[in-house]
Amino acid sequence: MGWKVQVVDGGLPDMYNNSVSLDDQQVMLFWTLSENSISIAARGEKKSGYLAIGFGRGMANSYAYVGWVDDSGKGRVNTYWIDGRDASNVHPTKENLTYVRCKSENGVITLEFTRPLNPSCDPDGRPECNNIVDPSTPLKVIWAMGAQWSDDHLSVGNMHFVTSKRPMSVLLMRGSAEAEEDLRPVLGVHGLYVSCLGILLPGGILAARYLKHVKDDNWFRIHVYLQYSGLAIVFLGFLFAVAELRGLTFDSVHVKFGMLAILLAVTQPVNAYLRPKKPANGRRLVKRDSYGSILIL
């Protein structure tokens, strides 16, 4: 005598090891990692004709999985490569999906499938062969819902009526997700930081070098104002960037060179404080060190 196991709707949290709410909390994403594959489920939180999730930062250049129930009542899940924002840019693909299921309950779509982490096909001939899921890196996930979907010819009528505003970075191994941050403020502060290093600090050195003919020692005031203004803005920009990026890591060469530049910039007021009075022998050495630091910056 055997047992027949039937999975009831609403049991997704028990069936999958991890779950997160995607952008705007209108779609739930579930997944379970295996050695060579990942099982995924997505459930909408509102009524729709179809539910789509995509791997990518936006609709363009994303790999999409669309689930809907056709006119015969059969649940379908199709895969697509999207390289634009029109219906003509939605290209069907043939991903190797198993354990595929899609259903609509009271108008709420739930889709499920299992796919390999690394597709075993030639990436030159089929775009879906580049759709590699690396569990050690964040997976960018977006979603969309629409009124109807078609397995044949897509048109404007198949466009979504609601979609995610930004991708979520899903940390597959941690079982969590983070909203994709808007880095424009960070880049703006970074640009200000570079301007300080490239203009204010060298300008202060040039003032000390070429404006000594200005009367009443105004060259020295200009030198001090430029140096300390540059250092203050660099310090504030550094703190802002660390706060926005939620920490400081030294994994990239860019960060290492940036920290070296900050360190050399900080040596300028230290040089000024330790610089011997005239006509001490070490005065010229400290002066050369100051010019060398600015040259590196």
pLDDT in tens, 219-257: 788 878 888 887 887 777 777 767 665 566 666 676 777
Q: Tokens 């991903």 label which residue? A: 95
How far, in whole angstroms, is CA 136 from its chain's centroid?
Answer: 14
Residues 248 and 292 in one domain: yes
Residue 64: inside a domain = yes
Domain that holds residue 60: 12-179
pLDDT confidence of residue 8: 40
Residue 220: inside a domain = yes
Is pLDDT above 80 for 289? no
Global confidence as pTM: 0.61
Residue 7: inside a domain = no
pLDDT confidence of residue 259: 78
pLDDT (tens digit, 9 = 90+) per residue, 68-122?
A: 999 899 999 999 999 988 888 899 999 999 999 999 999 999 999 999 999 988 7
Q: Is 162 exposed, middle or buried (0-12, 13-18, 19+ CB in 10 A)?
A: middle
Residues 127 and 246 in one domain: no
Using DSSP bridges, classify how beta strands 108-116 and 139-146 pair: parallel, antiparallel or unpaired.
Answer: unpaired
Residues 175 and 235 in one domain: no
Residue 88: inside a domain = yes
Q: Which of 130, 156, 179 finishes a domain?
A: 179
Own/partner long-range contacts of 126-132 (Cβ < 8 Å, ≥24 apart): 126/93, 126/94, 127/81, 127/91, 127/93, 128/63, 128/79, 128/81, 128/93, 128/94, 128/95, 131/55, 131/63, 131/95
Residue 57 sits in a domain whose CATH number is: 2.60.40.1210
Average model confidence (pLDDT) across the chain: 80
Helical H segments across 109-252, by residue range: 184-195, 201-210, 218-244
Q: Regarding predicted confidence, which is higher, 212 or 75?
A: 75
Domain count within the chain: 2
Q: 82 phi and psi, to 5 degrees?
A: -115, 120
Q: Which of 123, 153, 179 finishes a domain?
A: 179
Residue 271: inside a domain = yes
Alpha-carbon distances of 28 from 19, 44, 47, 147, 250, rounded to whole Å: 7, 6, 14, 19, 34
Residues 120 and 200 in one domain: no
Residues 172 and 53 in one domain: yes
Residues 256 and 189 in one domain: yes
Q: Which of 179, 205, 222 finishes a domain?
A: 179
Residue 236: inside a domain = yes
Residues 34 and 134 in one domain: yes
Q: Model confidence at 273, in pLDDT bands (50, 70, 90)?
A: low
Residues 47 and 112 in one domain: yes
Residues 131 and 225 in one domain: no
pLDDT (tens digit, 9 = 90+) per residue, 122-160?
A: 777 788 999 999 998 899 999 999 998 987 777 776 788
Contact criterion met (CB below 8 Å) for 55 and 113: no
